[in-house]
Structure formats: structure tokens, C-alpha cells
Chains A and B, each alone.
Chain A
Amino acid sequence: MKEETLDKIRTCVIATFHLPPETPITRATTSADVDGWDSLSHAMLIMKVEQEFALELPFDRVYDLANVGELADLVQATLGAGAQST
């Protein structure tokens, strides 16, 4: 499940930043590693991820993420919380 989440996020990152499909995006990838990953494109990425996973990420966390791995963890946690509340 975690790997599947990371794969989907990798796809979102590549699409948002128009990267070549083979670009290595790992848990350790940060905004500094990707050209054009600024505040605006970060918001675009968050919206793309929300669309992809059909969820809304908690606002207070989306600008507090150190790398792609933490974004994946946040998505997992949000999915988990949603599952528990249903």
C-alpha cells in the first residue's frame, strides 16, 4: 500500500513539474532537487495529489513537509483517518 502511494505521488510530481518519466523521485527527494518546485507549484502538486487520491489533505501540514516521503506519509495518514471515520 505504501509503495503504491509513493508510486502515485511520483507520477503526480513528474506531471506537475513536467519531468522526463524516468526521473528518479524517491522518498528523499526534496523541493530543492526539482527545478521549478516553488510555492505555487507546491500548491499545484498538493491539488494534483488530492485529486489523485480523492481526499483533502490537512492544511496545517501541507507546508510542513520535508520531502516526498513525508508527503506520502501524510497521504497514508489521511487515507487511514478517513477509513477509520467511516
Chain B
Amino acid sequence: MKSIVVYGGILAATITSMLSRIGGISGKYRVVHVSADVSNGATPTDLASCAIFFRQDPYVCAFEDSLPSECLRLAFPTLDARHLWPFHCANPYNRPEPPRFPAGRFPYGNSFIVSCLKQGIDPAIIVDRYISAPWGPSWPDLEACERSENARLEAMDARVDIPMLSYIRENIHHRRLFWAPASPTNALLSELIVRMLDRAFAPAKLVSRKVLEELMHLQGAWDLFGAISVPIHPHVAQRFGLQWYDTSEPFRYFDEFIGYREYYDRMVSENGPKPVPSKKDRPTFVVYGNCQADAVAVILRGNAAISKLYDVRYVKSFGAERGRIDPDAVTKCAIFLEQHDREPFEQRERLPRSCTIIRFPSIDCNVLWPFNASNPYDGPEERYPFGRFPYGDRVIIAQIDSGRSADEILEYYLTAWDDYKMDLDRFLKIEMARFEARDAKCDVTMGSYLYERFIHERPLWTANHPTLPFLKELLRRILVAAADRADERLGSIDIDRTIASNFVLSPRGPLGVVSVPIHPKVAEHFQFAWYDPHERYQLFDGNSYDYKEYFEQLIAHSLAKKVVPVP
């Protein structure tokens, strides 16, 4: 199959994507984008079989000479209209904030606003000045801007095979052609693509502009380059006679539409001169606790906005590394997130006076596994640092202690519920009392949230490993408390998005590696809506087992360890 190679920047990439969706092309050609910035996209075969080579001007392609001699080479222009945004400049305050703002919140800078911020002018009056001040002699000379832009576009038109300047000149007054500098509307983009195809395939007419625009709308509800529409200054709109211009129109700003004034208010307030301190200078946000606290710290650290503000640290509350943290990180601590634990943080006294301490609970719900117990017949192994079956079962342990065989123990466990059952309603009441007592000692509470939901939504994979929705709720509550008590900027953190992007490949969340079966009688008693008797449970060995197989494995493993005691 012959290929069509489109060489250039993001405009070229978008054109590639559209070409590959056009019926007359997709079945006959492989359409490939080759980025001018990084070497990727085309294989030697694509280049050797290249029938049409589109190059975005002004990019220069180093391999163009090595394309087959019969290959049709066509240059197309970059679509830009700089004179409509005469204040356009690089934004020194903009920082990438993936995943929501990979190019930052304000990738298009405004030289007036940047200059005011640099001079330390009160942010409250910057936007007023920008909007209301008369167009003074120190402001951009619009005639000069237009002359220079015309000269640039004419020079580009002369270099390319698919000129667009006359179309832009004829249409720019009565219809919107750009959302921002170098961001064409679908209308303009489709005109360019139609012209490219007309030129490449003449006299055949592969697609009309109308069909192409419809195709583009199928790619997204909004224009392909319309993620942000940068407001045009009213004076500029008037000077260039933009008949479609309306200051009261809502401007697209990522997922929302905002007003003209709000766009600049946000630019000033959110993207002002806040130099990003180095990690060394950032205050610490310390999270102390068990594996759930570790997961909380991982997610907080995964949020770019939080990481910009704080150096997030996790400190273990258990094991040999309990309380281990660099002393400097303690003295620089601005927020100390302390999981309610009977082993308090030993260096608490060294936290600065200004540090805000927020106590939060573990997420657990013992009624799900009323027989859960530390397994004495388990221990760390080379492949399994936490052991193979760290979650034991009191009923099974007692049976193992009594000297019964594996078959007898399994039979007893599966069939003798009446012999070892417990009063689950009473246990639930005691468990609720525990939640209440714990919540009373915490700044963030989870007891009633758990109690109201555990029947309908699965809260945990194991006795101490919550599912992602419950962990997310804990994080949400922690950030609300932190914004309220320590740093209001934390109130606008979109933790859902951070979690969604961090756990695309592991939807069970950071603590969902293994799961422990729920006793069917417990599930039946509480009528868990999420319970599936045929569920398979995953172990550290990566295999999954059904309910009976899980206990066969647990019993066999524990009996083996009983014979060869855990060191």
C-alpha cells in the first residue's frame, strides 16, 4: 500500500488524523504523520512507498530529498493570524499541569498582563486597565502589526503549493477563522484540507468542505483546535472590522465557557508570578500511617499542582522503618497528615508551630471478615515479602492448631457455620461504636460514610486495603480539611482526575493487588449488593482462585508452614 506522509507540527498531526478518516483515502493509502520536532511516525517502508508528501511550511524536512522520485511533494502553510492578538507572547508563568492542563492553564501569554505582573502592579487593577484604558501610544501599533503579518503571510504563500492567504483575507471579517494564534477553526482547517486534496488528486474531488466539517465534528463536540479561545481585545476587533465579534460571547476555556473578563481575571490570579520553588525549598506535606497512608501520599504526589506546592513525604507507622524521615523534612513540615494509630509519630515535638496537623482514620470494616486474624503460619519469603497468606482466619487457625487434616479443615470451614458462627448484628453494632470512637479523635471522619455504603458498594479488598472509590473519598475529605485549615489552594485540587489518570491500568487502585474472600454466610446475612459467589480472588502469586480453591491453598500453605515453622 502506498503512503501519504504529512510532515510538520500539531497542524500536520491533525490533518493526518482527518485524512485517514476520508473514505477515498483510508482504503488506498496509509496516512502517516512525521513530527518535525521529534523523529517518529514513519518507517523506512512508509517513506519508500510515499506517493504524496505534504510538508507544513516553514518546517524544513531533512529526508525530503530521499523520497521516491515519483512522489508528489506539496507544501502547505501554517495557519496563523498574529495581528488579531497583538499582545501575544510566551507566558513565563505558565507551567504544564498534566493530566488536565498538559500545556499549562494559560499557554497563550499576554504581554500587557505579563509586564504588569512583573512590575508588581496590584492584580486587582490589571484587568481593568487592560480592558478599559484607552489604546495609548505605548500599546501595539496595529497598522504595523497588520503590515508585518501581511508580509509574513505573503512570503509564506509564495513558498507553498497550497496558498491560503486570499481565502483568509476574504473571510476573516465575516466569520471566525481562528480561536487563538495558530489555532484555526474547523471551517478554516477543512478549507485547507480540501485544497490539499484538490491539489494532490486533481481532477478528482475526494471530499467537500461540508462533509469534512461534519467529519471533524464527529471527532469531538467542539472544534479540533478550540480547547481554548483567546479573547480578542475589543479595540483590535474594531480596528480590523471583525463583524462576527461579540465581547459578550462565552469563551471556551478547556471544559467550560467563561466570559471575556473572567478569562483575564483568571489569567492574572491563577497564573501570576508564582515561581516554582525547587524541591529543596518547598515545605513538606508529611503523611504518617500504614499502607493506606502510603497510598494517600502516592496520590497526593501524583497531582502536579500539589507537587508544585509541597514536597509530599510518607512516613511508615509500622515495622522496622517506623517513623523514619529526614529530620529537615520534619522541621519544614507545613501539613502533617497523621493516621489515627496507637503508635504516634515519635518526632511530633519537632514539627514547627505553624504546622497544621490533620488526623484521619484508616478505612476498615471488620464485619466483612469477622474471622480475620494475623496468620501465625505465614511469613515473608523471597518472592513474597509480605508472605503468601498474611490474612489468616481464626476458624482455620484453630482447626490447624487442633491437628486436623487439610480435607477435614476445609470441610469444617465450608459446612460447619452453625458451629463457629457469631452474632453478626451485635458485631456490627460494636463495629459502629468503634468507628464513632475513632472519628471523634480525627479531623477527617469516614465512619458514617462507610456505614451508609458498605452494603451497596464494596469498601475493601482485604481487611486493610480499601477499594479506589473509598480511598478517593478519604482523599477528598483530607483535601477539604487541608484547604479549610491550612492552604485554601488545596480546595480546588481535582483529585478525581489525578486518580483516574494514575490508575488507568490498575482500576482496582493502589491497594487492590490481592483480595480475600468474604464468607458466603456473612454476605448472605448483610445482603451485600456487590457480592459475587463466583468471584475469583487474586493472590500475591498472580493467580486467582475461587472461594473453595482459596481456602484449599490457605490451609495447605498453613499446614506446610506448621510442619516447617515460620522462622
Contact = CB atoms under 8 A, between A and B. Distances in A.
A54 B423 CA distance: 14
Contacts of B401: 18
Nearest to B394: A44
B171 interface: no
A3 interface: no
B463 A40 contact: yes
A47 B463 CA distance: 20
Interface of B: 342, 364, 366, 370, 372-374, 394, 401, 422-423, 426-427, 429-434, 436-438, 463
The 7 closest A-B pairs by CB, nearest first: A63-B437, A59-B433, A40-B366, A43-B430, A63-B434, A46-B430, A62-B433
A64 B373 contact: no
A64 B433 CA distance: 10
B431 A64 contact: no
Given A36-B373, A39-B366, A40-B372, A59 B430 contact: yes
Chain B interface main SS type: helix
Contacts of A39: 364, 366, 434
A82 B366 CA distance: 29
Contact of B429 (A40, A44, A59): A59
Nearest to B429: A59
Given A40-B366, A40-B372, A41-B373, A47 B427 contact: yes
Contacts of A47: 422-423, 426-427, 430
A59 B427 contact: no
A23 B429 CA distance: 30
Contacts of A64: 437
Given A43-B366, A47-B422, A59 B432 contact: yes
Interface of A: 18, 31-32, 36, 39-44, 46-47, 50, 56, 59-60, 62-64
Given A62-B433, A63-B433, A64-B437, A43 B373 contact: no
Contact of B430 (A18, A31, A32, A62): A62
B330 to A, nearest CB: 25
A18 B315 CA distance: 32
Contacts of B427: 43, 47
A59 B437 CA distance: 9
Contacts of B374: 36
Contact of B434 (A31, A32, A36, A43): A43
Nearest to A30: B342
B454 to A, nearest CB: 15
A5 B373 CA distance: 27
